[in-house]
Amino acid sequence: MRPVTKFDKSDYDVVEFNNKSHSRIRVDPMYFKLGYSPSPRIFGRYSVFDRLIKVIDSLPQEYGLLIWDVYRPRSVQEKLFNWMREEIRKKSPLLSDEENYEETKKYMSAPSMPGEEYCPPHLSGGAIDLTLYEIADGKALEMGTSFDDCTDVDSVTNPLINGAGL
């Protein structure tokens, strides 16, 4: 059982993540560039930003964090979920609609409606899409899959991702 984390009210304050946030943070608003988000600005919770600074402090000096996405509005989450469903439909056209939906949830949180008990982490600004990059040349490190890959390598059911294989 994990210890309970006490949150301060300021943990939920909204902060903008940008290229001036920290010398080793670079922002590349991927969903804006791909046409899914109407804004290039990236926002998230202060607690997420604070933890990123701790991560940066533990990284070797030659690496930084490349941030693609933190908070996303419900409309963007819905567009992304539907896009992912289509990607899976292309790869597995024999899946029923229900099977496709369940398979999609392995890679992307389903959008929720206001008042529903479940809230996708990105809708609350509490999740982040990022990778490592080399400070010297600004290039993202190769991590084995492309951004938003929808194969078993990138699935939450992969034991190396969910921690079971560690």
pTM of the model: 0.75
Dist. CA 9–CA 32, nearest whole Å: 30
Amino acid at 163: G
Average pLDDT over residues 49-67: 94
| Strand, helix or coil for residue 47 | helix
Distance (Å) of CA 144 to CA 41, 131, 148, 152, 161: 27, 11, 12, 12, 12
| pLDDT value of position 155 | 47
List the single range of 35-44, 90-99, 117-126 with lowest mean pLDDT: 117-126
Dist. CA 125–CA 67, nearest whole Å: 13
| Strand, helix or coil for residue 72 | coil
Distance (Å) of CA 76 to CA 2, 118, 127: 32, 17, 14
The percentage of residues in the chain with a pLDDT greater than 70, rounded to a whole number, is 80
14 vs 117, residue with greater confidence: 14
34 vs 114, residue with greater confidence: 34
What is the separation, in whole angstroms, between the first and last Cα of the chain? 17
Query: What pLDDT band is residue 151 in, cutting at 50, 70 and 90?
Result: low
Asked if pLDDT for residue 40 goes beyond 80, the answer is yes
Distance (Å) of CA 8 to CA 15, 49, 84: 15, 14, 35
* DSSP helix, strand, coil percent of the chain (3-state; round to 5): 35, 15, 50
- H or E element, residue 17: strand 14-17
| pLDDT value of position 7 | 57
Asked if pLDDT for residue 165 goes beyond 50, the answer is no
147 vs 136, residue with greater confidence: 136
The percentage of residues in the chain with a pLDDT greater than 90, rounded to a whole number, is 48
